[in-house]
Amino acid sequence: MGEVRKLQKKLRQIENLEIKISLSPEERIKISRKAELRSRLAELQLQLSGPQQTRGTVGDGKKEKMKRQVEEAPGALPSQTPPASKMPKGEERPRAQTTPSPAARPAAETGRGREKPPPAEVSGKAEFASLKASWEKSRFRLRLLEGHNDIVTCVAAVDNLVVSGSRDTTVKVWHVPTATEQKNLGGHTGGVTCLSAPPPEYCKRLARSLDLSDKERFILSGSADCYVKIWALNIGQCVKSIYTFNAVTALCFVPEGDGYIVTGSDGGKVQAWSWHTFDNCQSINAHREAVTSIQSQGPLAFSGSAEGGVSVWENRCSDRDPLRLLHHWSGQVTGCGGGPGGRLTLSPRGDRVFLAYGQAWLKILHWRTGTTSRLTNHSSIAGVTDCVHQPGGLLIGSCYDLANGESSLNLFSLPQCRYLASLTWPDAPRILCFAAWATGSGDHRWVTGGRGLIVWEQLPSSGKQRGDVTVKSDSRLDSCTLESEEETEDDEETDDYEDDDDVDVNNGEADGRCEGAEAAGLGAWLRCVLQ
């Protein structure tokens, strides 16, 4: 298991090198070893899995197919009873139905000694089964939006427009129905790291103060050049620039009172800015490492950092110091992090915050009490979760397999967090960011960014059009449930180890840092490439 973890770390480091803007000859040599390391990792996983291989494990195709057929056949358990021709004389074949098996017993015990489940429980199970079946039959049309010449780091949806930010320093506006680039907003001198769209009522206030149309919509962009820029989408111009003195790594708009922009920096600082005057209202040294995610929920704002800490802020609608810290939970409490340079993304819902931090599972933090639980998001320990999102009653986690480079989206129902289905397609790129909205008919429209910018449009359930997405069900995720931290004491994987010659891709650098920055963890691109 130790070598597996080393290989996983090396593959993570190589993935981070691949998304750098420029590569040195030494880095190109390291990247050239990715296929070799993946092959070795797959071999080790095969050895560890032994005879109990399941889907997704490399092995002999015909044998695996036969094995899956046996595993998936209901009730097809290996028989321990010899054939009738080999039964010793005088012995009778045991009766299989004499005593129900533990799995079958609850179904049989409906009348005696067991109460019938309440109607609400039956209704809930039927509703979930129907929802799961509908997603397993769902279809999506994919459209690639081509225009950026570097990694897409952030996306947002505004009406029928998609807005994307990239390390190429541009913000682009796309018209979704025609999948065409509408605006190219150039003005940042560093990579764009984050976007946020203010609600329409706050856009109207700003539009009136600028003598623009009431229908004007705005988008906020943050960049490594230390600027937050406010763009008017219809006219395609920057109407305001805010210099923050620090590289901006996260931001969100808090729609309370006159409105506030909350930003996070690469040094761990959280700042609040007035939407009315654009003055700095507050600066707080909130985290030890870079702030990698900020999200709002009503008057609350949630910030997550590279070291795995999460802070919860209340907006007091004040001209000075509007943010009041309600709770702060360190990486030791959240179970996230794993060293400086990591990347934590979060998505709040009520009293829970869903956390993605580059492992094969999602963490769920109950932010009022500090208790945590875990939700499996990948059937292999080589899985990586880069982002998490909640469109409507769904929880969606991105999934990337370090061992084979496959990417997908996993869907869970809310609030129970029960697995529904996985969506993927051939040569799917790694997904680093996600945005969603609904069409007029109630169908889903999503946009994913990372190595590619892709719009997902849900197709009607009836019709002859064929979808581009493959919908599959991972039986190992299907059987997973929420686990408390007490049940998963050994879950946390750490990348802290000494390199050895077998898997060295850092030319003997024991700390595994990329040039000039710390790169332990999946989010090193926030610190070592946006320069």
pLDDT (tens digit, 9 = 90+) per residue, 111-163? 445 566 666 667 778 889 999 999 999 999 999 999 999 999 999 999 889 99
- Judge whether 124 lies within some domain: no
- The predicted structure's pLDDT at residue 368: 96
CA atoms within 13 A on the CB side of 293: 30
Same domain for 325 and 303, yes or no, is yes
Same domain for 24 and 164, yes or no, is no
CA atoms within 13 A on the CB side of 467: 20
CA atoms within 13 A on the CB side of 332: 0
Same domain for 238 and 291, yes or no, is yes
Same domain for 178 and 256, yes or no, is yes
- The pTM of the whole model exceeds 0.85: no
- Judge whether 134 lies within some domain: no
Average pLDDT over residues 506-531: 36
Same domain for 158 and 197, yes or no, is yes
Top-confidence residue, 478 or 263? 263
pLDDT tens figures, 392-437? 889 999 999 888 888 999 999 999 999 999 999 988 999 999 999 8
Q: Give the confidence band of 490 by pLDDT, cuts at 50, 70, 90.
A: very low
Same domain for 417 and 499, yes or no, is no
Average pLDDT over residues 83-112: 43
Beta bridge mates, 274: 260
Which range has highest mean pLDDT (51-65, 226-240, 476-490)?
226-240
- The predicted structure's pLDDT at residue 155: 97
Query: Would residue 298 be called left, alpha or beta, if left means φ above 0 and alpha means ψ between -120 and 50 degrees?
Result: left
pLDDT at 221 over 70: yes
Q: Which tokens in the block code for residue 430? A: 């790694």
Same domain for 300 and 323, yes or no, is yes
- The predicted structure's pLDDT at residue 246: 94
Least confidently predicted of 310-314, 321-325, 347-351, 463-467: 463-467
Top-confidence residue, 284 or 514? 284
- The predicted structure's pLDDT at residue 480: 74
146 vs 180: CA distance, rounded Å? 8
- Judge whether 6 lies within some domain: yes
- The predicted structure's pLDDT at residue 17: 66
Can you give the CATH number for the domain in which 394 is found?
2.130.10.10
- Judge whether 91 lies within some domain: no
Question: Can you list the alpha helix ranges (DSSP code H) found in 163-315?
Answer: 200-209
Average pLDDT over residues 4-23: 68
- Distant-in-sequence, close-in-space partners of 75: CB < 8 Å, separation ≥ 6: none
Same domain for 357 and 217, yes or no, is yes
Extended beta strands in 233-344, E state: 237-243, 248-254, 260-265, 269-274, 280-285, 291-297, 300-305, 310-315, 323-329
Give the structural domain span for 31: 2-50+495-528
Same domain for 249 and 299, yes or no, is yes
CA-CA-CA-CA torsion sign (46, 52, 57, 61)? positive
Same domain for 444 and 296, yes or no, is yes
Task: Please state, for a pLDDT cut of 90, what percent of the chain lies above it.
Answer: 53
pLDDT at 43 over 70: yes
249 vs 256: CA distance, rounded Å? 22
pLDDT tens figures, 452-483? 999 999 998 776 678 899 999 888 888 776 77
- Judge whether 118 lies within some domain: no
| Total structural domains within the chain | 2
Top-confidence residue, 427 or 244? 244
- Distant-in-sequence, close-in-space partners of 126: CB < 8 Å, separation ≥ 6: none
DSSP string, 377-423: --SSTTEE---EE--TTEEEEEEEETTT--EEEEEEETTTTEEEEEE
- The predicted structure's pLDDT at residue 37: 83
pLDDT at 504 over 80: no
- Judge whether 64 lies within some domain: no
Same domain for 271 and 179, yes or no, is yes
- Judge whether 398 lies within some domain: yes
Top-confidence residue, 193 or 343? 193
Same domain for 499 and 367, yes or no, is no
Greatest CA span in the chain, whole angstroms? 99
- Judge whether 126 lies within some domain: no
Cβ atoms within 10 Å of 56's Cβ, excluding its own = 19
User: What mean pLDDT value characterizes the chain?
Assistant: 79
Q: How far is CA 340 from CA 256, 379, 511, in A?
A: 33, 26, 11
- The predicted structure's pLDDT at residue 59: 37
Least confidently predicted of 196-200, 447-451, 505-509: 505-509
CA atoms within 13 A on the CB side of 231: 27
Helix, strand, or coil (residue 227): strand
